[in-house]
Structure 1
Amino acid sequence: MADSSSFLPPLCERLSYKSYVVRAMDLTVLGLLCSLLLYRILHINQNGIGWVVAFLCESCFTFMWLLFTNITWSPAAHKPYPERLDERVHDLPSVDMFVTTADSVQEPPIIVVNTVLSLLAVNYPANKLACYVSDDGCSPLTYFSLKEAYKFAKIWVPFCKKYNVKIRAPFRYFLNHLASSEDFEFAKDWEMTKREYEKLSQKVEGITDDPHWLNADDDFEAFSNTKPNDHSTIVKVIWENKGGVGEKKEVPHFVYISREKRPNYLHHYKAGAMNFLVRVSGLMTNALYMLNVDCDMYANDADVVRQAMCIFLQEPVNLNHCAFVQFPQAFYDSNASKRINFFRSHLERGIGGIQGPIYAGSGCFHTRRVMYGLSPSDLEDDGSLYSAATRDILTEESLAREFGHSKEMVKSLVESLQRKSNPRNSLINSIEAAKEVGNVQYEYQTSWGKTIGLLYDSIMEDVNTSIGIHSRGWTSSWICSDQPAFLGCMPPLGVDAMLQRRRWMTGLLEIFFNKQSPLIGMFHHKLRFRQRLAYLSISMSGLSSIPFLFYCLLPAYCLLHNSPLFPKGFCLGITLTLVGMHCLYTLWEFMKPGFSVQVWYVYFCGSLFSLFDITLKLLGISETVFIVTKKTMPDTKSGSGDGPSQSDDDGLNLDSGKFEIEDSLFFLPSTFILLVNLAVLAYFSVGMWSRGRGGSGMGEACGCMFIAMLFLPSVKGLFEKGYGSRLSTLSKAAFLAFSCGSRDEPENYGLNSDSNKFVIDDSIYFLLGTFIWLVNLAALKGNFDITWSMLSKGTFLAVSFVVFSVRK
């Protein structure tokens, strides 16, 4: 397949991003943390419970920083050179492209359409590509939209290739005006293509609003009397590329599938859908490589497939040992781009310098043989199977036992394991076999989801599968490209974003406690030690919110109980240096890709809530649920140069970066922490003013102030118009804050009972109400834009708190 001439330049190169400055910073922070721990150990008998809790929290922080340093120690990535591919490879391998969707409401069909169109138009031979769309919601709307998308693809794909269009998702491409300098032929084709896309959009949006007439079409008979969680397997070949001329050879194979789902059978969410895609594509086209993307993640670089092939076809190292190629995930909307997952944009490159990046669930090219369970030890240097492995693996009985009792499936397996890509003469002839492997009972007593395909036992199927692949000795590659290969949309700010974060953290905690746990992986000799530590860091990320929660409350607790939290003398300098260096370092790391405090806010609250999910599962009370987050597409005005503009639903402008603090437990921890620290700060200020404290507790007060600054978005969220806290959330948080108040505080914290002043031994109650009352006064002066409804809520709370807190 490949020309092995040694004088030709390489298809890719490995780039190292080692920075001795970053290493020095990491080690310095680690040394300061260890020094602080040593000081606390030496003085642990001289202090109270707050000191012990601080020691435990800081021990967790030190361990997590050690794991973080391991990841960022030797970052690396691969840079492909797709322009060299034609010189080295005479016959490009085939690639199957998978698009997964699960809910036509949360994931509107027009988003799926644009993703599919961008994939159909990539710069790669059409006869080497096949696009499969898995619809786990069994929606006739999605199927109708894809049929219409194919009609437009016959226009769109030739247009993109004729004029070498850079952006191949129509909804993004047509955001800009047509330049007046363009030649007449291009302008004519551009206008025609734009009109056809507008017709497509109108059809899709129209049928979404009124889907009833779909039942009259015979092609939709399979969708009658179906429910998203109760339906038979549906396989529809929308287009089969049989060659020919013109548009007939430009558009790749295009197939719609929806696996059988029944209420009493486990379907394993996205992992189950992906495994069905692997089986169906193996029966129909059986490509050597597979790309999977989420329905909202369109191909932003037309050469993305060629870039991945540069990694797989680079000789001789990567032929046997590179299991998958992961592209960075980026997002096209302005707010989400600032909230890109820090793990996937920063830490993946760090892990790429060890055994390879983690499969991120989208934008990833897989090797089919690896998904079928092969290990590097099963292969010769040229990629062929060892004779012993051939005898053990390629027997019909063994394959049927491991992969299921389908003769057509076994036949395709043999071809795939031998690196043969022999697609069937006709895709339509494989439909019945495809339906067979989509049966709900097909995977019963097989190795699917255990050692083959995407692994089950966690809703984070991507990380779970990645651990399984690396444990067999495979490596993976992280691509460094000049422009994002894929662009997608993130859920809007607020609960949707936290639902997504909750799902991620819950899935990672599931992995931490299941048989794929990195702790168990310590015994997998093919999983490198540093890679184990990296997986341990990632799977424990949800647990980090526990010490963080306690640490946020420690300054307030110590201030109320007159108990020291921070060291004194020289060691105080260590603490201040540690805090300052860590803040500057993390601020620098977050500002480089454009992150904000909201990123941390969403991460922390989502991580904390995931603890409740995994605890309930471990206790057998409930099962974790795969939550489909809402995808939104900009409501663009065709041809407008102003860019995308979000619709203003219910008075909320999603592009403004604000969100409503809804009646949800997601917002309870942050509101609780904020109220406690602000109330204690006010309490401390009154105590200093009335009695004079001579500087006692200033360190703890500064800690409360720092924590309150971190939660500054929540301060505005308490009462700001359109984005304020719900009364129930505020009440719950206030109740928890009251529970932290102590009635037996030291005498110097209270006011003199012999004076004519109020006796406020429950001052935290009083000052919490006073704080809310002052917020309302500030609102009257225009500092916050609030409604009378929100003002009345705040006033009611303030009056109630004062009445029950103040005693003469």
Structure 2
Amino acid sequence: PTKKGRGGTKNRELRAAMENSLPLHLCHVQKSSAIINRSHTVLHSIALTGLIYYRASFLLQSIKTRDIPILPWLLVFASELMLSFIWLLNQAYRWRPVSRTIFPERLPEDKELPAIDVFICTVDPNKEPTVEVMNTVISAMSLDYPPDKLYVYLSDDGGCSSVTLNAMREAWRFAKWWLPFCRTYGIKTRCPEAYFSAAEDDYGDTQSRDFIAEKEKVKEKYKVFVECLMRIRQNESMVISPDHSPVVEVIKDKSNGAVSADQVEMPLLVYVSREKRPSHPHHFKAGALNVLLRVSGLISNSPYILVLDCDMYCNDPTSARQAMCFHLDPKISPSLAFVQFPQKFHNISNNDIYDSQLRSVFTIKWPGFDGLQGPALSGTGFYMKRVALYGSSMEEGMLVQGYLRSVKRNN
């Protein structure tokens, strides 16, 4: 039972203070796009109505006269009705598109921000190269978020513990060079592979001697890191095992390198390989995420979770703060379950005639979804509220205490 009285009054006062504070985000209806989309929908609907009327009249007349075969025309008419119905359903995405403006500068101080658990899933190092997986891990560790509030978990669902586990240890060592470099120079591309392969640098003063020297040093460290991963793949077995015991290890560096762990603030990095038995269903990625949810509940139990595929690195280091602009906004937070970020792809052909970048999804359907009930869960790149996975109701008392204290102090 929960005590009511002074606690409930305090919550009401804090909620009132939050409502009177500046908003963390604003939602704008794209009026010009809505007018154009609705006009097109009306005109196209009139044309479809005329077409359906013509087909129905023609078929009724043909039935009376019986001068042409009816079955082919019925099939054509049925196909047109089905396609028209599908088109009509798709107009919902275009009816009320919205855009949102965020204000990360209005977030509370770093020490008041809530913690975030990052879940990354991998299975087969033969199909999912270890270098790419570790780049995803490092990009998650490099998020522009307080390191003591960031916990990165990697699920090795293939049972190749020797390969992935040793690779994570090497990633931890390299991250002690990569993270300070990104923080010092404000690097936006936090995935090492993407950064060093880019044609242009995203740092402003690229002619700075200190920057050039530090970049070359980190680049050499990255080459050594990649070579270590290749040696691990060559020397260790990469056979997928459907029958293995569980392994959970918090990654720590035991070497005596030039940079010590206490000099660099590092997020917690955890390796998880769940138990698998042929006689028990493992439910693939859903089962791996369920195990990560339980393990993280014992280690960090962060109120928010970022889920990433092993080949989907963090393209924007500020995404965590952007997500918090929605999760910590009192106007939508009680009913908000997750914040979905769009996906971007590289190595796409210049013509992209098959829309491999999914532009129609991310630029048209998602803003329309947001204007209705919010976007669909895409399986990766989303910040989920942990309590939403547990199925609990969003109560007043479950607001982030750090943000409440910040608002109270400011008021």
Consecutive unaligned residues in structure 1, runs of 5 or more:
213-222, 385-418, 422-808
| Structure 1 position 25 matched with structure 2 position 40 | yes
1:249, 1:195 → 2: CA distance?
A: 19
- The answer to whether the 8 A contact 1:127-1:249 is kept is no
Q: Name which structure has the greater RCO, CA cutoff 8 Å, separation 6+.
A: 2
Structure 1 position 349 matched with structure 2 position 364: no
Q: 1:267 matched to which residue of 2?
A: 282
Q: Which residue of 2 aligns with 1:13?
A: 26
- Displacement, 1:346? 2.6
> 1:181 Cα shift?
5.3
Distance 1:280 1:343, change over 3 A: same
8 Å CA contact retained: 2:176, 2:264: no
Distance across 2 between alignment mates of 1:34 and 1:229: 57
Distance in 1 (CA, whole Å) between partners of 2:111 and 2:231 is 46
In the alignment, which of 195, 203, 210 is matched to residue 173 of structure 1?
A: 195
The answer to whether the aligner puts 1:292 opposite 2:307 as a matched pair is yes
2:288 aligned counterpart, secondary structure:
helix
RMSD: 2.6
- 8 Å CA contact 1:158, 1:247 repeated in 2: no
1:78 corresponds to 2:91: no
CA distance in structure 2 between the aligned counterparts of 1:420 and 1:204, rounded to whole angstroms: 42
The 2-side partners of 1:296 and 1:4 are apart by: 42
What is the deviation of 1:355? Answer: 1.2
Over alpha carbons, which structure has the higher Rg? 1
- Which residue, 208, 212, 215 being the options, matches 2:233? 208
Kindly provide the amino acid, as one letter, of the partner of residue 56 in structure 2: I
Deviations, residues 172-205 of structure 1 (Å, cap 9, x unaligned): 1112477995222222211110000001111212
Aligned 1:113-128 pairs, distance under 5 A: 113-128=134-149
Residue 635 of structure 1 is matched in structure 2 by: none
Q: Deviations over 1:90-128 (max 9, x none)?
A: 600000011111211111111111111111111111000
Match among 179, 184, 194 for residue 162 of structure 1 = 184
* Distance in 2 between residues matched to 1:66 and 1:228, nearest whole Å: 48
Shift of 1:297: 0.9
Helix, strand or coil for the counterpart of 1:110? Answer: helix
Aligned to 1:235: 248
* 2:168 corresponds to 1:146: yes
**Separation in 2, partners of 1:351, 1:170:** 34
Note the alpha carbon deviations across 1:238-266, whole angstroms, 9 max, x for none.
Answer: 139xxxx9655521000011111222221
Q: Determine the structure 1 residue equivalent to 2:53.
A: 38
State how far apart, in whole Å, the 2-side matches of 1:70 and 1:308 are: 25
Establish whether residue 188 from structure 1 lines up as the match of residue 221 from structure 2. no
Question: Paired residue for 1:699?
Answer: none
Note the alpha carbon deviations across 1:401-444, whole angstroms, 9 max, x for none.
xxxxxxxxxxxxxxxxxx789xxxxxxxxxxxxxxxxxxxxxxx
Aligned partner (choices 364, 368, 377) of residue 382 of structure 2:
364
Q: Retained in 1: the 8 A contact 2:180–2:264?
A: no
1:604 corresponds to? none
CA–CA distance in 2 between the matches of 1:155 and 1:146?
Answer: 15
Q: 1:374 to 1:253 in 2, by over 3 A?
A: same
Consecutive unaligned residues of structure 2, counting only runs of 5 or more, are: 1-13, 63-67, 254-259, 403-411
The SS at the match of 1:305 is: helix
The alignment partner of 2:374 has SS state of coil
Correspondence for 1:373 among 391, 398, 402: 391
Listed as ranges, the matches of 1:427-438 within 5 Å are none
Secondary structure at the counterpart of residue 372 of structure 2: coil
Contact kept? 2:102, 2:322, Cα under 8 Å: yes
Q: Could you say if the C-alpha distance between residues 307 and 181 of structure 1 is closer, same or farther in structure 2, counting changes exceeding 3 Å?
A: closer
| Aligned twin of 1:301 | 316
Alignment partners' CA distance in 1, 2:15 and 2:270 = 30
Distance in 2 between residues matched to 1:229 and 1:77, nearest whole Å: 45
1:339 maps to which residue?
356
Structure 1 counterpart of 2:76, from 42, 48, 54: 54
Q: In 1, distance between residues paired with 2:146 and 2:51? A: 61
1:93 and 2:88 aligned: no
What is the rounded CA distance, in whole Å, between the counterparts of 1:112 and 1:233 in structure 2?
A: 20
CA–CA distance in structure 2, aligned partners of residues 133 and 354 of structure 1: 34
1:549-564 superposed matches below 5 A:
none
Q: Write out aligned runs for 1:264-663 (5 A).
A: 264-315=279-330, 317-335=331-349, 338-341=355-358, 342-376=360-394, 379-380=395-396, 382-383=397-398
Matching residue's letter, 2:221:
E
- State the 1:30 CA deviation: 2.3
Displacement, 1:323? 0.8
AA at the equivalent of 2:101? K
Secondary structure at the aligned position of 1:280 is classed as helix
* Structural mapping, 1:216-255, within 5 Å: 227-239=240-252, 247=262, 249-255=264-270
Is the CA contact 2:348–2:357 (under 8 Å) kept in the aligned structure 1?
Answer: no
> How far did residue 131 of structure 1 move?
0.1
Deviations 1:611-660 (A, max 9, x none): xxxxxxxxxxxxxxxxxxxxxxxxxxxxxxxxxxxxxxxxxxxxxxxxxx
Normalising by the residue count of structure 2, what TM-score does the alignment of the two structures yield? 0.82
Could you tell me which amino acid in structure 1 is paired with residue 116 of structure 2? V
Q: Which amino acid aligns with 1:150?
A: W
* Deviation of the 1:5 alpha carbon: 6.1
Deviations 1:16-38 (A, max 9, x none): 22421121112222222222122
Task: State the TM-score, normalizing by the size of structure 1.
Answer: 0.43
How far apart, in 2, do the equivalents of 1:181 and 1:3 lie?
Answer: 47
* SS of equivalent to 1:159: helix
The within-5 A match list for 1:687-766 is: none
Aligned partners of 1:371, 1:305: CA distance in 2, in Å?
19
In structure 1, the residue corresponding to 2:337 is in which secondary structure? strand
CA distance in 1, matches of 2:318, 2:389: 24
Structure 1: distance between partners of 2:54 and 2:378: 41
**Residues in 2 aligned to 1:58 and 1:49: alpha-carbon distance in whole angstroms:** 14
Distance 1:257 1:181, change over 3 A: closer
Quick one: distance in 2 between partners of 1:250 and 1:53?
67
Deviation at 1:83, TM superposition (A): 2.2
